[in-house]
Structure 1
């Protein structure tokens, strides 16, 4: 329903759509929910709404109609924008791999504006029917058109009165002459104008951004700059050349706009910054780059950010540049991507953020560190729930890179084990049973199956255990309950400066999952039972206190496992004392001072 509402509002400007606006307006205000699973019944409901709205509004369409409808129309725009990222329509919000601009071009070509101001209700019904009956790929294309692009389409039609700025002396005659000529030119004329006035173009645009304060005008100027760059990527050098002559930073005027309160302005500015940073021969300065990437990261964290797709699109562009990847990691970017993916986001945003992870994995150093952020478990969960082919494809591509890209074969092996641990083999089996036309998906499934099956054959019980602990997703797998495993491997938990023990203790401190807490408590108890100095090590690492705190946990299973672990920590002293006494009695000697002292302490 949402994409129909946006389409009707932004594309068609007709009498029949006036009625449809009222229909959609009532839908949004009452927070109705309609499933479009059954297209015919949904179409019938929508037609009934239109007819009912016609009857209800029949007496309200007199000569004062425009004045009465204006506040309602403005309210509808606000509601549409506010809810554009919250409403979930049945077919989700996946998209094709095209850029936002290509999406918009296809959108306009497939659904051109009507010039007939007397469009009948029959045509409105036909339009609704044509949208509902669209194939999945067209629906995906509509959904991928971001809020930023939808608003840009509206703003383009609101021409600026440049004469008023000249008369008020807010802009110079030189800037006025250029901007009027540029604004009224077609693509061919713009090309000639820019070729003859490269420096003036950058000078005028930057002057206008610096001297004009009205939001609507700033929006219009930014759209002009964005369209200019989109027509020809090489035009980004216009700004670099101008700023180099003046010995000024090209980033300053644009970065300042990121502090504006208007959502459209900051996100369109962000889009322009990304294009200049990625399409120019000169890389972005380190300090400016850190500021911009930190800004993008903060935008991702915002709840209900209606411009999330545009933010993700900027990141997709930036992370194609290897130098920018390390800068993004340095501002804790990977953790932010994972946090957002763990939340409830639509399929379009899922795809875009996983795309960001994918381009990061082309760098060997980053690919080796990736699973420290729990990337594999998170993506495995998304893969198991995914119904969109493009999301599946990009996840499999990430998994393949995590195996192929690392230069250390041991890291690749660990990634394979992690995927096995996260039930990726099962998902590959399910995917193989589908009829997939995408050659990339088929090839990646074959590659991953081969690598994961090979890793399973070489997988030792300790490798399986270590991978499970590192994933942070503990469950009652066979190794935990195997006495043979603990007898043979308890000492190996001391490897790499007690790495696995530290992870177990960290889970006791931070995890909210009763299952994880139960298994971690059990493992610490088994380590103490089978490793002679286990009690001392656990105390030194702060594990004993955390286990004892779990004795008061609300979950009975956690309390039970914590109690057993505490018993093992205490009984360990008695077992040691018993062995000492037995040894001394066999030798026929008196108990030593140390043994007596230990008895008193126990």
Structure 2
């Protein structure tokens, strides 16, 4: 896309003179349409407002027909800029597209078609207008809306929402415009994700993972707005179970924690805290939050002077919920979180025989997931403390699980531990040796040697 075309803005487009008379002569617009356009075009907002108040749907019919019948890019851009300007001045005007007098018009089709063709200006304006218009329909529960129950085949709101989600996800994956694609797409999603059907389409399109990289500390006005709208999307998704499953397996929680620690923007902090509040009782989120140090973060946030009552209530609720979670968290849950996050340290449970006796069968969950992660730590960690604890825990598993030696051998742990016997850190070599002894000699004999 040529850069001058990519940087086109509404002011430049609206300075054009469009030959409406020529279009009427060639029968591309009617005489009535020409009259309406003469009254409306090149007028100020104060002159246009009463026209739209008295006869808004008639103007919309003219604009829709032009977008349907005229292909010239200059004119298409001009009409889209006119509609965008009108809706920016008063977003409630989007409801006029659903007026009963327009039920024979396919109000969505021109915009949906233009999403996929033409300049970036055309695509961006079409996505923005479609988002406002489809969100302004009066019925969002699957019952027939204006223009969807007529005999004439029209584009349904479901078609629009699916098409929009597809286009927005493509823009987030492979932006058409270097600076505008992502902010524009997130802006539309922050409105659209209020609808359950959009949440479902977005999750099916694997959209959740496209949001996570955008959760990062922001300093400029533009980046703060993008962060706010991204957090708004995540908060809306935190009400939808399938999206919560995606969030659980992503880095959303650590990223949100990082942002909330350093943000002074109340609107951003409020959304993140409300998201935490929603997720607290779901799956392993409570345990993850404790591991990320959220109780301390909440304390720090409570000490600041916020004016938003909802934020203060949410912080109190979150604080109480985290306290309850700390009480409920079993020793194995805490252990599992420690392993999954790779934060291994000599906390008391590692050397507690009761912990190993009581929890040894829990290691079998999810096809020995916790054990497999321990082995990954042995291979990838550069932290001597984590390596030493992982070796020790592996030796404990061999000692307490009836089939420990067989399972650990099958998972090819021997080679990984052998390498660590030559480690420069004495704590690592000592625990690697203990693990190898238990693997080769059996638990009782290795314990005797260690004693």
What range is the shorter-chain TM-score in? 0.7 to 0.9
- Rate the CA distance shift 1:173–1:518 in 2: closer, same or farther, 3 A: farther
Aligned: 1:572 with 2:435:
no
- Rate the CA distance shift 1:170–1:439 in 2: closer, same or farther, 3 A: same
Match of 2:163 among 286, 291, 295: 291
State the number of aligned residues. 412
Q: Judge conservation of contact 1:548–1:566 (CA < 8 Å) in 2.
A: no
CA deviation after TM superposition for structure 1 residue 327, in Å:
1.7
Aligned match of 2:124: 267
- Tell me the secondary structure at the aligned position of residue 320 of structure 1: coil
Match of 2:104 among 235, 240, 245: 245
Aligned: 1:388 with 2:265:
yes
Q: Judge conservation of contact 1:165–1:171 (CA < 8 Å) in 2.
A: yes
- Rate the CA distance shift 1:566–1:389 in 2: closer, same or farther, 3 A: farther
CA deviation after TM superposition for structure 1 residue 270, in Å:
0.7
Counterparts of 2:433 and 2:125, CA distance in 1: 59
Q: Judge conservation of contact 2:209–2:246 (CA < 8 Å) in 1.
A: no
* Aligned positions of 1:448-527 closer than 5 A: 448-469=318-339, 472-479=340-347, 482-484=350-352, 485-501=355-371, 514-515=382-383, 518=387, 522=391, 523-524=393-394, 526-527=396-397
Aligned: 1:311 with 2:185:
yes
Match of 1:188 among 46, 50, 64: 50
Counterparts of 1:255 and 1:519, CA distance in 2: 59
Aligned match of 2:275: 398
Aligned: 1:301 with 2:173:
yes
Q: Judge conservation of contact 2:418–2:432 (CA < 8 Å) in 1.
A: no
CA deviation after TM superposition for structure 1 residue 324, in Å:
1.7
CA deviation after TM superposition for structure 1 residue 354, in Å:
0.8
CA deviation after TM superposition for structure 1 residue 294, in Å:
2.4
Q: Deviations over 1:211-256 (max 9, x none)?
A: 4344443222113223445242321314x864x536x5x4432222
Q: Deviations over 1:161-208 (max 9, x none)?
A: 4234445655444443333333345211222233xxx3x545432332
CA deviation after TM superposition for structure 1 residue 305, in Å:
3.2
- Tell me the secondary structure at the aligned position of residue 245 of structure 1: coil
> Where in structure 2 are there 5+ consecutive unaligned residues?
141-155, 447-451
CA deviation after TM superposition for structure 1 residue 569, in Å:
6.1
* Aligned positions of 1:539-578 closer than 5 A: 543-544=411-412, 548=415, 568=435, 571-575=438-442
Which deviates further from its counterpart, 380-389 or 327-336?
Answer: 380-389
Q: Judge conservation of contact 2:216–2:227 (CA < 8 Å) in 1.
A: no
- Tell me the secondary structure at the aligned position of residue 329 of structure 1: helix
Counterparts of 2:19 and 2:348, CA distance in 1: 74
Counterparts of 2:160 and 2:38, CA distance in 1: 32
CA deviation after TM superposition for structure 1 residue 394, in Å:
1.2
Counterparts of 1:524 and 1:279, CA distance in 2: 59
Counterparts of 1:279 and 1:495, CA distance in 2: 48
> Where in structure 1 are there 5+ consecutive unaligned residues?
1-74, 83-147, 580-602
Aligned match of 1:359: 236
CA deviation after TM superposition for structure 1 residue 549, in Å:
6.9
Aligned: 1:222 with 2:118:
no
Counterparts of 1:291 and 1:259, CA distance in 2: 10
Q: Judge conservation of contact 2:186–2:230 (CA < 8 Å) in 1.
A: yes
- Tell me the secondary structure at the aligned position of residue 412 of structure 2: helix
CA deviation after TM superposition for structure 1 residue 551, in Å:
8.0
CA deviation after TM superposition for structure 1 residue 379, in Å:
0.9
- Rate the CA distance shift 1:527–1:155 in 2: closer, same or farther, 3 A: farther
RMSD: 4.1
Q: Judge conservation of contact 1:257–1:269 (CA < 8 Å) in 2.
A: yes
TM-score (norm 2): 0.75
Aligned match of 1:328: 202
Q: Judge conservation of contact 1:551–1:562 (CA < 8 Å) in 2.
A: no
- Rate the CA distance shift 1:457–1:276 in 2: closer, same or farther, 3 A: same
Counterparts of 1:557 and 1:265, CA distance in 2: 62
Q: Judge conservation of contact 1:337–1:353 (CA < 8 Å) in 2.
A: yes
- Rate the CA distance shift 1:190–1:417 in 2: closer, same or farther, 3 A: same
Aligned: 1:533 with 2:403:
yes
Counterparts of 2:23 and 2:246, CA distance in 1: 54
CA deviation after TM superposition for structure 1 residue 440, in Å:
2.3
Aligned match of 2:144: none
Counterparts of 1:552 and 1:174, CA distance in 2: 85
- Rate the CA distance shift 1:369–1:235 in 2: closer, same or farther, 3 A: same
Q: Deviations over 1:406-430 (max 9, x none)?
A: 6xxxx36x33222111111111222
Aligned match of 2:317: 447
Q: Deviations over 1:484-506 (max 9, x none)?
A: 1445433311135434345556x
Q: Judge conservation of contact 2:84–2:129 (CA < 8 Å) in 1.
A: yes
CA deviation after TM superposition for structure 1 residue 322, in Å:
2.0
Counterparts of 2:276 and 2:349, CA distance in 1: 31
